[in-house]
Amino acid sequence: MAEPDGLPAQLGVDIDPELLTLALTHRSYAYENGGIAHNERLEFLGDSILGQAVTVMLFRSYPDLDEGELAKRRAALVSSVALAEVARTIGLGRHLRLGRGEELTGGRDKSSILADTVEAIIGAVYLDAGADIATDLVLRLIAPLLEDSSRFGAAMDPKTSLQELAARRGRGLPSYRVTDSGPDHSKRFHATVLIGGEDIAAGEGTSKKQAEMAAALEAWTILQSRGR
């Protein structure tokens, strides 16, 4: 794990080191180290701050949009898929405190873990610096999605966006292969998207839909990078 010393500069905030460390601590690390505190309470708080900041921003920025369209855009911007993309742009994965099991299974790039950690950091900033600074952080983090209109559209509806892109490229319809693991009360879903018989990308989530969306956005990104 990289030391989080450079993370506050990337985030553009000063944050108490202990709170930041807590925000980066996944439950798997906590359980393997004597049941120390982990980031899920901060995640709960950050989720609320995130939702409010995005709601107010959209309401003010798009006065001509109706409630349904505002809700759709908010859902896209606060989704695990979008937050994971935010986390990857700042290299958050290398700062995570993970247990050995998560480390060995690619936890540093799992969309669900990355998204939860972004929310935990927002919660930590709120506690340490207050609502205004936390709101500013949220708006800076989501700005790249808003500035990249094609990616924002893909994040809003990645399965439809992937289908349309694949059709334009003459690749055929995407299909999904989904597996699950874990107990009934805490299942994890893993989705692989195939186009023309080729495994293009994979994604994870706490539901089949979430896993498919994560896989679809990753596949859309890959196809976009390949060009025509």
β-strand partners of 205: 189
Annotated binding-site members: 43, 116, 119
* Residue 3 CB contacts under 8 Å (≥ 6 apart), including other chains: 95
Annotated binding-site members for Mg(2+): 43, 116, 119
- The string of DSSP letters for the chain reads ---GGGHHHHHT----HHHHHHHTB-HHHHHHTTS---SHHHHHHHHHHHHHHHHHHHHHH-TT--HHHHHHHHHHHTSHHHHHHHHHHTTGGGG-B--HHHHHTTGGG-HHHHHHHHHHHHHHHHHHH-HHHHHHHHHHHHHHHHH-HHHHHHHHSHHHHHHHHHHHTT----EEEEEEES-GGG-EEEEEEEETTEEEEEEEESSHHHHHHHHHHHHHHHHHHH--
Q: Is 172 left (phi over 0), alpha (psi -120 to 50) or beta?
A: left
Task: Tell me if residue 164 is catalytic.
Answer: no
Residue in 14, 16, 18, 47 annotated catalytic: 47
Residue in 5, 40, 66, 119 annotated catalytic: 119
Task: Tell me if residue 47 is catalytic.
Answer: yes
In the DSSP assignment, the letter for residue 208 is H
Instruction: State the catalytic residues.
Output: 47, 119
